[in-house]
Amino acid sequence: MFLEPHFKGQRSGWIEVICGSMFSGKTEELIRRLKRAKIANQKVEIFKPKVDTRYDEAKVVSHDANYILSTPVEDPRKILELSEGVDVVGIDEAQFFGENLTTVCQQLALRGTRVIVAGLDMDFKGNPFGPIPQLLAVAEYITKVHAICQHCGNLAVFSYRKSSEEDTVVLGEKDSYEPRCRTCYSMGNILDFGK
Protein backbone atom coordinates (compact mmCIF):
# COMPACT_ATOMS: atom_id res chain seq x y z
CA MET A 1 0.00 0.00 0.00
CA PHE A 2 1.33 3.45 -0.92
CA LEU A 3 0.81 6.30 1.53
CA GLU A 4 1.38 9.87 0.50
CA PRO A 5 3.05 12.34 2.87
CA HIS A 6 0.67 14.89 4.37
CA PHE A 7 2.87 17.83 3.26
CA LYS A 8 5.25 17.55 0.30
CA GLY A 9 8.88 18.04 1.27
CA GLN A 10 8.24 17.64 5.01
CA ARG A 11 10.63 15.48 7.01
CA SER A 12 8.81 12.34 8.04
CA GLY A 13 8.36 11.12 11.57
CA TRP A 14 8.85 7.55 12.70
CA ILE A 15 7.27 4.64 14.54
CA GLU A 16 8.61 3.12 17.77
CA VAL A 17 7.14 -0.14 19.10
CA ILE A 18 7.52 -1.28 22.70
CA CYS A 19 6.41 -4.91 22.99
CA GLY A 20 6.63 -7.88 25.32
CA SER A 21 4.57 -10.00 27.68
CA MET A 22 2.29 -8.83 30.44
CA PHE A 23 4.09 -7.28 33.44
CA SER A 24 7.21 -6.54 31.38
CA GLY A 25 7.11 -2.74 31.73
CA LYS A 26 5.72 -1.76 28.31
CA THR A 27 3.38 0.92 29.65
CA GLU A 28 6.03 2.15 32.10
CA GLU A 29 8.45 2.66 29.19
CA LEU A 30 5.75 4.36 27.09
CA ILE A 31 4.96 6.78 29.94
CA ARG A 32 8.68 7.49 30.45
CA ARG A 33 9.17 8.40 26.78
CA LEU A 34 6.04 10.55 26.67
CA LYS A 35 6.98 12.45 29.84
CA ARG A 36 10.44 13.15 28.38
CA ALA A 37 8.81 14.52 25.21
CA LYS A 38 6.67 16.82 27.39
CA ILE A 39 9.78 18.01 29.25
CA ALA A 40 11.20 18.89 25.80
CA ASN A 41 8.10 21.09 25.24
CA GLN A 42 6.77 18.86 22.49
CA LYS A 43 3.03 18.64 21.92
CA VAL A 44 2.01 15.15 23.05
CA GLU A 45 -1.26 13.21 22.73
CA ILE A 46 -1.86 9.79 24.25
CA PHE A 47 -4.51 7.27 23.19
CA LYS A 48 -5.73 3.93 24.46
CA PRO A 49 -8.50 1.55 23.37
CA LYS A 50 -11.86 2.32 24.92
CA VAL A 51 -12.22 -1.34 25.91
CA ASP A 52 -9.27 -1.11 28.36
CA THR A 53 -10.84 0.08 31.62
CA ARG A 54 -8.78 -2.08 34.03
CA TYR A 55 -7.22 0.77 36.02
CA ASP A 56 -8.98 3.87 34.72
CA GLU A 57 -11.24 4.87 31.85
CA ALA A 58 -9.16 7.89 30.76
CA LYS A 59 -5.63 7.27 32.07
CA VAL A 60 -2.86 5.07 30.79
CA VAL A 61 -1.73 3.37 34.01
CA SER A 62 1.22 1.04 34.51
CA HIS A 63 1.14 -1.92 36.89
CA ASP A 64 3.29 0.23 39.23
CA ALA A 65 0.46 2.83 39.34
CA ASN A 66 2.42 5.36 37.28
CA TYR A 67 0.01 7.14 34.91
CA ILE A 68 -0.51 9.74 32.22
CA LEU A 69 -3.80 11.19 30.93
CA SER A 70 -5.06 9.77 27.65
CA THR A 71 -7.99 9.78 25.26
CA PRO A 72 -9.87 6.47 24.92
CA VAL A 73 -10.87 5.69 21.33
CA GLU A 74 -12.77 2.82 19.70
CA ASP A 75 -11.46 3.21 16.17
CA PRO A 76 -7.80 4.08 15.52
CA ARG A 77 -8.83 6.35 12.63
CA LYS A 78 -10.08 8.78 15.30
CA ILE A 79 -6.43 9.19 16.37
CA LEU A 80 -5.67 10.86 13.03
CA GLU A 81 -8.18 13.65 13.51
CA LEU A 82 -7.37 14.13 17.21
CA SER A 83 -3.64 14.51 16.65
CA GLU A 84 -3.43 17.19 14.01
CA GLY A 85 -0.41 19.40 14.75
CA VAL A 86 0.94 17.04 17.44
CA ASP A 87 4.66 16.24 17.71
CA VAL A 88 4.40 12.91 19.55
CA VAL A 89 1.55 10.39 19.66
CA GLY A 90 1.54 7.61 22.26
CA ILE A 91 -0.70 4.55 21.89
CA ASP A 92 -1.05 2.01 24.70
CA GLU A 93 -2.49 -1.54 24.57
CA ALA A 94 -2.22 -1.45 20.77
CA GLN A 95 -3.05 -5.16 20.47
CA PHE A 96 -6.70 -4.32 21.19
CA PHE A 97 -7.00 -2.14 18.07
CA GLY A 98 -7.82 -3.47 14.60
CA GLU A 99 -5.41 -4.01 11.75
CA ASN A 100 -6.02 -0.45 10.49
CA LEU A 101 -3.85 0.85 13.37
CA THR A 102 -0.77 0.17 11.22
CA THR A 103 -2.07 2.44 8.43
CA VAL A 104 -2.93 5.15 10.99
CA CYS A 105 0.57 4.99 12.49
CA GLN A 106 2.17 5.19 9.05
CA GLN A 107 0.05 8.22 8.13
CA LEU A 108 1.03 9.93 11.38
CA ALA A 109 4.72 9.24 10.73
CA LEU A 110 4.39 10.69 7.22
CA ARG A 111 2.92 13.84 8.78
CA GLY A 112 6.17 14.23 10.70
CA THR A 113 4.87 12.77 13.97
CA ARG A 114 6.86 10.55 16.30
CA VAL A 115 4.57 7.59 17.06
CA ILE A 116 5.23 5.44 20.15
CA VAL A 117 3.15 2.27 20.35
CA ALA A 118 3.09 -0.19 23.27
CA GLY A 119 1.41 -3.58 23.25
CA LEU A 120 1.53 -7.31 23.74
CA ASP A 121 3.30 -9.04 20.88
CA MET A 122 1.68 -12.42 21.68
CA ASP A 123 -1.69 -13.48 23.04
CA PHE A 124 -2.09 -16.04 25.85
CA LYS A 125 -1.76 -18.88 23.30
CA GLY A 126 1.63 -17.59 22.14
CA ASN A 127 0.27 -16.34 18.78
CA PRO A 128 1.04 -12.91 17.27
CA PHE A 129 -1.49 -10.44 18.68
CA GLY A 130 -3.59 -7.96 16.68
CA PRO A 131 -1.74 -5.33 14.64
CA ILE A 132 1.54 -5.69 16.56
CA PRO A 133 3.27 -7.97 13.98
CA GLN A 134 2.51 -5.49 11.17
CA LEU A 135 3.69 -2.58 13.33
CA LEU A 136 6.94 -4.41 14.08
CA ALA A 137 7.48 -4.81 10.33
CA VAL A 138 7.13 -1.08 9.56
CA ALA A 139 8.64 0.44 12.74
CA GLU A 140 11.97 2.25 12.69
CA TYR A 141 12.65 1.38 16.34
CA ILE A 142 11.67 -1.74 18.30
CA THR A 143 12.12 -2.35 22.02
CA LYS A 144 11.30 -5.80 23.38
CA VAL A 145 10.95 -5.70 27.14
CA HIS A 146 10.89 -8.75 29.40
CA ALA A 147 9.18 -9.71 32.61
CA ILE A 148 10.54 -12.22 35.12
CA CYS A 149 9.12 -15.75 35.09
CA GLN A 150 7.02 -16.31 38.21
CA HIS A 151 8.26 -19.89 38.53
CA CYS A 152 11.98 -20.00 37.74
CA GLY A 153 13.19 -16.39 37.63
CA ASN A 154 14.35 -16.47 33.99
CA LEU A 155 13.33 -13.82 31.47
CA ALA A 156 9.65 -14.17 30.61
CA VAL A 157 8.31 -13.54 27.12
CA PHE A 158 4.93 -15.28 27.41
CA SER A 159 1.69 -14.21 29.14
CA TYR A 160 0.25 -17.32 30.76
CA ARG A 161 -3.50 -17.21 31.43
CA LYS A 162 -4.42 -18.89 34.72
CA SER A 163 -8.15 -19.12 33.97
CA SER A 164 -9.82 -21.52 31.54
CA GLU A 165 -11.43 -18.83 29.36
CA GLU A 166 -10.72 -19.29 25.65
CA ASP A 167 -11.54 -15.82 24.25
CA THR A 168 -8.45 -14.07 22.92
CA VAL A 169 -9.29 -10.81 24.72
CA VAL A 170 -9.93 -11.26 28.43
CA LEU A 171 -9.00 -8.23 30.52
CA GLY A 172 -7.23 -9.16 33.69
CA GLU A 173 -4.32 -8.61 36.02
CA LYS A 174 -2.13 -10.77 38.24
CA ASP A 175 -5.18 -12.78 39.30
CA SER A 176 -5.68 -13.89 35.67
CA TYR A 177 -2.21 -13.80 34.10
CA GLU A 178 1.43 -14.33 34.96
CA PRO A 179 4.63 -13.91 32.98
CA ARG A 180 6.49 -17.11 32.12
CA CYS A 181 9.66 -18.13 30.33
CA ARG A 182 9.40 -20.47 27.34
CA THR A 183 9.94 -23.63 29.41
CA CYS A 184 7.51 -22.81 32.22
CA TYR A 185 4.93 -21.58 29.71
CA SER A 186 5.14 -24.88 27.81
CA MET A 187 4.58 -26.81 31.06
CA GLY A 188 1.19 -25.08 31.35
CA ASN A 189 -0.98 -25.76 34.35
CA ILE A 190 1.32 -28.54 35.62
CA LEU A 191 3.15 -25.78 37.50
CA ASP A 192 -0.11 -24.55 39.08
CA PHE A 193 -0.57 -27.83 40.94
CA GLY A 194 2.69 -27.32 42.83
CA LYS A 195 1.41 -24.13 44.48
Distances (CA, A) of 39 to 43, 86, 168: 10, 15, 37
d(CA 187, CA 180): 10
Closest CA to 10 of 108, 133, 115, 132: 108
Nearest CA to 72 among 95, 53, 50? 50
Q: Residues in the chain, how many?
A: 195
How far apart are alpha carbons 24 and 27 in whole angstroms? 9
Active site annotation includes 45: no
Angle (nearest 5°) at CA 105 between 28 and 143: 40
Q: Phi-psi bin for 93: left (phi > 0), alpha (psi -120 to 50), beta?
A: left
Please state, in angstroms and rounded to a whole number, the distance separating the CA atoms of residues 69 and 31: 10
What DSSP state is assigned to residue 17?
E
16, 29, 93, 178: the catalytic one is 93
The catalytic residues are: 93
